[in-house]
Amino acid sequence: MLHIRSLAAIFGQMKIYSKNDLMKLAIEEHLKCSEFPRVGAVIAKNGILLSTGYRGEIQGVHAERVAIEKLSPTDLYDSSIYTTLEPCVTIQQEQNKECCADLIIKSGIREAVIGVLDPNGTIYSQGYRALLQNKISVSFFNRKLRMAVEEETFEFGDLHKLIGPGKRRIPVIHSGTDLEVQFSQSDTRTIKIKWSTLQSSHRIVDLHSENGAVRVASGATNFSDITDPMVFRFPSHVARLSEGMIAVVKPRNATFCIIVKLLTIYENDILFQWEMRNDE
């Protein structure tokens, strides 16, 4: 985690902030969140801080809306918003509040500076695209600050690393999602896997690893059914899985294997569970 000192303490009564300062102020806001995903936002005009907000400051209200609703239309006009997470978009027609992307577009804000794009497959890049299409200038936090946001925004930290057994929902869109699975916190052995080619309409998704590393555990419905992971035949580099199916991943030089169960397929996401077994 990047430790960020309070800018108020650093700058005292100074009222003109650089873009980098405003990014850090947004991160200070997101660190106030007690729930995931953490999101913080600040609004400024000509370097002058106008308002702040964080998710959970007002129950059920997103950080961008919290910051926007503290200001008048005159204050908002031609201002800039710095938000640690890509603004949300409308997912369901029956939503009772307009999404943050639409709120920003209608507010008179001229510029949005975003920390990270939302990995949720139903939102990823859509908020960013909506802002651009409506003539909002969009840029991003610098790389160092993006890393700080990534580490502290989501409940699972690094979205591309899995440590120990667990359960995770991940987006599988465009070119797929690469993951590195580490045996445990104290055991740094790893195996790389990738989910790709999600076909939600056909209820299937592909699990990849090295050539000959992936086997479908045909007939097994629970991890406890598998007494010897290597008993299953027909190793390949990919397994096409539907909900409830289990696969075993063990590259040739690995000293452990991963057992993976596909739990649920959504439109752009999947939920899966995994555990490790040492090679015996």
Q: List the structure tokens of 73.
A: 């239309």
pLDDT bucket at 1, cuts 50 / 70 / 90:
very low
Question: Residues 54-78: what's their mean pLDDT?
Answer: 96
The domain limits of the chain are 7-153, 161-278
pLDDT above 80 (res 136):
yes
pLDDT bucket at 197, cuts 50 / 70 / 90:
very high
* Lowest-pLDDT choice from 78-82, 143-147, 252-256, 261-265: 143-147
Compute, in degrees rounded to 10, the torsion defined by CA atoms 40, 45, 50, 51.
-20
What is the longest distance spanned by two Cα atoms in the chain?
69
pLDDT in tens, 19-57: 999 999 999 999 999 988 999 999 999 999 999 999 999
- The DSSP secondary structure of 212-270, one letter per residue, reads T-EEE-TT--SGGG-S-GGG----BSEEEE-TT-EEEE--TT-SEEEEEEEEEE-SSEE
Question: Residues 144-156: what's their mean pLDDT?
Answer: 82
Question: Residues 206-219: what's their mean pLDDT?
Answer: 96
Query: What is the structure's pLDDT at 231?
Result: 93
Task: Look over the chain and give the mean of its residue pLDDT values, rounded to a whole number.
Answer: 90
**pTM of this prediction exceeds 0.75:** no
pLDDT over 90 percentage in the chain: 72
Question: Residues 99-105: what's their mean pLDDT?
Answer: 97
CATH match of 7-153 with 3.40.140.10? yes
pLDDT bucket at 12, cuts 50 / 70 / 90:
very low
pLDDT in tens, 213-240: 999 999 999 999 999 999 999 999 999 9
pLDDT bucket at 10, cuts 50 / 70 / 90:
very low
Q: List the structure tokens of 222.
A: 């629970």
The residues, any chain, with a CB within 8 Å of residue 252's CB and separated by 6 or more, are: 210, 212, 213
Question: Residues 128-145: what's their mean pLDDT?
Answer: 95
